[in-house]
Amino acid sequence: MPQMSPMNWLSLFCMFIIVFMIFNTLNYFNFMYVSKKTITKNLKKTFNWKW
């Protein structure tokens, strides 16, 4: 029946939004990158040449 078509489109759209949000949250929380700049900053040795 053509009258029920908007209801199907609305459910399809809601399903797409839910799947999209789940995919984005899983993608964000599974790949947490560590900055390499903080690791090299701690290994830097200072040399006081004035004394």
pLDDT tens by residue, the chain, 51 residues: 566 677 788 899 999 999 999 999 999 888 767 666 655 555 566 776 766
Residue 42's nearest CA partner among 50, 34, 32 is 34
The pLDDT assigned to 24 comes to 93
Contacts 24+ apart (CB under 8 A), 14-21: none
The pLDDT assigned to 3 comes to 66
CA angle 15, 21, 30 (to 5 degrees): 135
The pLDDT assigned to 44 comes to 60
First to last CA, the chain: 90
